[in-house]
Structure formats: structure tokens, C-alpha cells
Amino acid sequence: MNEVKKTKYWNPYIGGVMLGLVLLSANFISGRGLGASGALKSVIVSTVNTVAPDHAENAAFYKNYNETHENPMKSWLVFQVFGVLVGGFLSGTFAKRLKFKVEHSPKISSKRRLVFALIGGAFFGFGSQLGRGCTSGSALSGMAVLSLGGFITMACIFGTAFGLAYFFRKNWI
Amino acid sequence: MGPLVVNEIISPDTNLFLAFLIGIGFGFVLESSGFSSSRKLAGMFYGYDTTVLKVFFTAAITALLGMLFFSLFGWVDLSLIYINPTFLHSAIVGGVIMGAGFIMGGFCPGTAFCAISIGKLDALAFIGGLFLGIVAFTEGYPLFEELYKAEFMGTPTINEFLGLSRGLFSFGLIAAAFGMFWVGDWAEKKFPREEY
């Protein structure tokens, strides 16, 4: 039974090579790496532009962004993230993993899991803006082009998560 | 030859379409490797599942070596590839905040998109959190602008910074990754878990 469970996913080294080839093709075709958080920023700027145009003209961040970008939604990352949703769905369909559920350790409730997911997301979202990209855009893609900042951000993300793991162990083990 | 869009071999609109296809590959590989499961992702920090470490470093090495070979073959002009700029302070502080978010939330943004695509509702909560966090940054931007722009170092590569050649650093990174893979296998045996 355990063996069956273990073999449902790809071998991690095969997965890693495949992910590396996807990243390589992004660099070869578009001259840039992968990402995720930037697409959410585009959605937010676009929403603010539509819902509160006065605010978008006055607040520093949106003003700078709109001066340097034509249309926030017509961005490489927005299209790429739509692709991620489709690709993940296809893989989940083939592997029969499509299911609505809240995944959590049996020791904690679904509610606790959702609350921590929300808080964790807020931290990650804020950090990704300050750090100019998340695990994909800054750490992984940065490392592939040997960016010093990419290595620093990668070390800080994983180092902090390791350092704090003890305090949040009840959520996971 | 490459990068294709920079050298105007493909149009900007084709580039966006290819971004969508690249995204499909990205999402498919993440999901197939198990990155749609927060318990699998968090496993790395407790040693019971080091898939993330293996996939992440194998991917970085593959892409790194691919770029090195492509440039040797003359297929890609490395000077036209985007290199993430280094703003020392925000790279550190942003990374630390993201690390805290990772251990609490169990996802990063890319894996959360991957997980929501197969119906994980905890990923939906995480993405809700991402919106809140990004809005907090964009709305409070004047407060963070100084930190955001502090210690700008340009776009140095880590091998330049260390005074090593690109090839030598890459070789060292590969050796280090093999060492980490070995530690990962050791940890999985030492901290085994039943199914999750």
C-alpha cells in the first residue's frame, strides 16, 4: 500500500530535469525565467485601475507601475500563470487527483489549516513584493541565471522556513 | 539565435502565447512531482519528504547547465537574458518574510496555483492571503520604498561576486546539490512518516 502511494508522483529527479527544461525554454524563447506572484500583482494593479482610477493616479506604487507598463494584464506572467492552472489541472486529471479538499495533518482541524494558509499567504505575498519575486521568479529563476540576489533570497526563504519549523511543527507532523 | 523574442525571431504576441504553453508545462511538472500537496512541500522542513529539495535543485542545475551549453553552442546570447537585480536588503528581508509564510502556509505562490487547479481549498485560502499581502505592500509602498530600494548592487552574478568562473561555480553547485540529495535521503530514512 505504502509502495503504491509512493509511486504515484514522478521520481523527483525526473521532475527536476523536466522543470529545468521548462525553465530553460522560458529563457531561450523569452529571455526570462518563470514566476507566479507577479501575475497577482498585475491583477491587483488592473483592479485598482478599474475600480479606483483616482487612487491609481495618486498612490505612488500604481503611478510608477502604470508609467512603466502598458496594460498590467497583458503581461508574460499573467499568461504563464493561466498556463500553470491548465497544466496542473491536466496532470491532476491524468493522475486522478482532482478533488475538492482541505489537506491537513490529522492532528489539526480544517479551520486551523485554512487560517494558517491565509496568514502564510499574506506573509508570502508581502515578502514576494519586497523581494522582487517569489520562489519561482526570484529563487529558482534567479539561480538558473546565477543572480546573486536569487541565491540570497533562496537561502533566506529556505533558511527561515527551517529555522521556524520547530514552532509550527504541530501543523505538519 | 536565442532568446527568440529579444532577437525578434518571434513577435511579442507569439511570446505571450508561448508563455501560456510554458505555463502549462510548468503546472504539469509541478503537479506531477507532488507540489500540489502542502504536506509534501512542508515535509522538507521536517525531513520526512525531501522531494522539494531534489526537484528544486535538479531543476536549477538543469537550467543552469542548459544555458551554459546553449551559450557554448552559440544558440543563446547570455548577455540578453534577464538577470534578477540585487537589492541586498530587500532580498534578505523579503526572503525571510517569505520563509515565514512558507512554513505557516505550506505553499509558495506557484505551488498554490498548481494546488488550486486540482481543488485544494487550503491553496485557495493561501491565494486569498497572497492578495492581502500584495495589497498591503502596494498600498503601504511609501513606507517600504526606502527598504525596497536600499543597497542596490546592479545585476551581479554569484560567480562574479565570489571571483569564480561560471563553469567552476556551476561545478561546485552540482557537487553541493549531490551532497544535499544524499542528506535528503538520509533524513527521509531517519524521520519516516506513514502516508500523508
CB B57 within 8 A of CB A16: yes
Using a CB-CB cut-off of 8 Å, the residues of chain B touching A95 are 31-32
Cβ-proximal residues to B44 (8 Å cutoff; 6+ apart), any chain: B50, B51, B52, B53
Domain boundaries, chain B: 12-190
Q: Which domain holds residue A148?
A: 102-173
- Count of domains observed in chain A: 1
Q: Torsion over CA of A108, B35, B148 and A68, rounded to 10 degrees?
A: -130
Q: Considering the domain boundaries, does residue A43 fall inside one?
A: no
Task: Answer whether residue A118 is part of any domain.
Answer: yes
Distance from CA of A50 to the nearest CA of B (A): 15
Chain B residues closer than 8 Å to A102 by CB: 120-122
Residue A162 contacts B where some CB pair is shorter than 8 Å:
yes
CA distance B145 to A130: 9
3 state DSSP class of A162: helix
C-alpha cell at B8: 525578434
Q: Is the minimum CB–CB distance between A52 and chain B shorter than 8 Å?
A: no
Q: Can you give the C-alpha Rg of chain A in angstroms?
A: 19
Q: What is the pLDDT of residues B14-52, one digit of tens each?
A: 999 999 999 999 999 999 999 999 999 999 999 999 999
Q: Is the peptide bond before B3 cis (omega within 30 degrees of 0)?
A: yes
Q: What is the pLDDT along chain A (173 residues), one digit of tens a residue?
A: 444 444 489 999 999 999 999 999 999 999 999 999 999 999 999 999 999 999 999 999 999 999 999 899 999 999 999 999 999 999 999 999 999 999 999 999 999 999 999 999 999 999 999 999 999 999 999 999 999 999 999 999 999 999 999 999 999 98
B117–A92 CB contact, under 8 Å: yes
ipTM of the complex: 0.95
Is the predicted pLDDT of residue B195 greater than 80, yes or no?
no
Q: Is residue A172 part of a domain?
A: yes
Q: Does A158 touch chain B (CB under 8 A)?
A: yes
pTM for the model: 0.95
Of A2-6, B92-96, B151-155, B156-160, the least confident: A2-6
* A149: in domain: yes
Kindly state whether residue A56 falls inside one of the protein's structural domains. Answer: no
Residue of chain B minimizing CA distance to A85: B117
CA distance A120 to A92: 24
Contact A134 B82 (CB under 8 A): no
